[in-house]
Structure 1
């Protein structure tokens, strides 16, 4: 990492570590990139491409090519998972996008290390940085769907637009007067919200909002929610530093305008949670993965069991069904 960012050595609590940061001097950064462009050293070339990832903008190759209406966004972590596992995750998004003519935007979580280190945030916050970058890369897209690297899209035959984004599809499944904080939160989604006015779609687990899969409309409310959610005031607040979903819960509870543009939908629509132990407790059935569901989410699989094993099993099942 030290060759990708500027850094300095720090010692906190008796433990030495490196702190990475983006340079303040844009001109020095520009000169550094220019030097790497002139260099034929493969490391310099790779470094230049890495640093320019967030600056890329989709430009149609011909007049007949249009910007995709929907872009799938995913972060991948090369320090947590093997390359073969990450390849499956990325290919899963590409296969689905190809079947439905959507766009795909994938970033390394490590690209956002300086931003994460700024306030000591965990890697969960990187999804917001990736979504902001995706909106820059595809300015004409209508919707952005974030799907976590611990999830698989299982149904290429489902078109997201007709499945959930059309008002006629979203309206019947919107959970109105649903507590934002389960089970007994005082703040609830509004019963008067119309599906055509929704800019943010998300699901819940039995414990919290589930940011492993959510959809943002590319409008002032969708972009505004993302800016509020990723604001430094939220990222450095002690309760939210390592809990991006707690920050979102607070945001929706205290900003009624944004809540009025939000729809909570049943978990199994876009984020069925897989239970590795096969044990479904009372009240959890509606959140758990069932055969035929659109998306399976192996939430927190890195903490309790192997993500690679689960993904591989589902991936092989999908390949065999083709």
Structure 2
């Protein structure tokens, strides 16, 4: 009996025809629309999920003020620096303020003069005390003399500041065409500074903590400005910034020098008088009769007596 063999398969099968994907029929323009629509949906989900930006973090004002002082490395651990530190600490403790004492050598200045360290130290203090309301930078060659004067009242109090502000006043006297805003209100002010006979003075400065202050200090500390060969380093850099950046000028108040920055000698600006909040040893030297240590000693007994009598 013969059995039939099954038919052999064709040795030349028909070519494989893959299924066509539906995406093949979507035009490029349609695909772009779908992607954009998907991104919009994701954005809406993120927006309503509670992750949306809620504005700057509120500042509680604890402590109300941080007093910042930076010492050149040569004054580190000297009797002079301890004298100045004692002054800052006693004043801060009286009012519940914070203190931030730093050394210029703590910061990388890329070859710029050590005086630039005041700018980054103020920024550093804001990071260390994020809830402080104000930062008061006062130079290493200065003493706080009036323990009863509070920064938030004596300097930044609305009524007091309105009375002191020099409006429509040249930034660099006597003939600068750039002047302080004539319509500025105390509530608008985030930076308080003084002038001496040469222009803006940065030995005593008050800054209101917040997003604007961070922007301002970051701008001031920009490497470009530090690399310029300004005659008075950060001080002339600040004069440049203020005159070219309305965003900064619009928050600036210049007040009479004795409000926060009276000098120990009349040769360089307004001279200190009893009752002023601080005295700055303008142009004091490292050694000799006009040394900073000798200048501080002139006022040592007075400030210690004032602080003791105020307890």
Q: What's the TM-score once normalised by structure 2's chain length? A: 0.75
State whether structure 2 residue 261 is matched by structure 1 residue 271: yes
State whether structure 2 residue 92 is matched by structure 1 residue 97: yes
In 2: Cα distance, 1:316 partner to 1:176 partner: 37
In 2: Cα distance, 1:302 partner to 1:81 partner: 16
State whether structure 2 residue 72 is matched by structure 1 residue 77: yes
Q: Are the equivalent residues in 2 in contact too, given 1:183–1:206 (CA < 8 A)?
A: no
Give the Å deviation of 1:302. Answer: 2.2
Give the Å deviation of 1:80. Answer: 4.1
Residue 141 of structure 2 aligns with which residue? 150
Alignment of 1:170-319 (within 5 A): 170-239=161-230, 243-275=233-265, 284=269, 287-302=270-285, 305-319=290-304
State whether structure 2 residue 153 is matched by structure 1 residue 162: yes
Secondary structure of 1:203's match? Answer: strand
Partner deviation per Cα, 1:92-142 (whole Å, 9 max, x = no partner): 011111111111011111212xx22x1x21111010111111011011111
Give the Å deviation of 1:192. Answer: 0.7
Q: Are the equivalent residues in 2 in contact too, given 1:81–1:308 (CA < 8 A)?
A: no
In structure 1, list runs of 5 or more residues that go unmatched.
Answer: 1-64
Give the Å deviation of 1:81. Answer: 6.4
Q: What's the TM-score once normalised by structure 1's chain length? A: 0.72
Give the Å deviation of 1:76. Answer: 1.4
Give the Å deviation of 1:290. Answer: 1.6
Moved over 4 A (4+): none
Q: Are the equivalent residues in 2 in contact too, given 1:131–1:144 (CA < 8 A)?
A: yes
Cα RMSD (Å) of the superposition?
A: 1.9
Secondary structure of 1:68's match? Answer: coil
In 2: Cα distance, 1:267 partner to 1:66 partner: 26
Number of paired residues?
246
In structure 2, list runs of 5 or more residues that go unmatched.
Answer: 1-59
In 2: Cα distance, 1:110 partner to 1:237 partner: 20
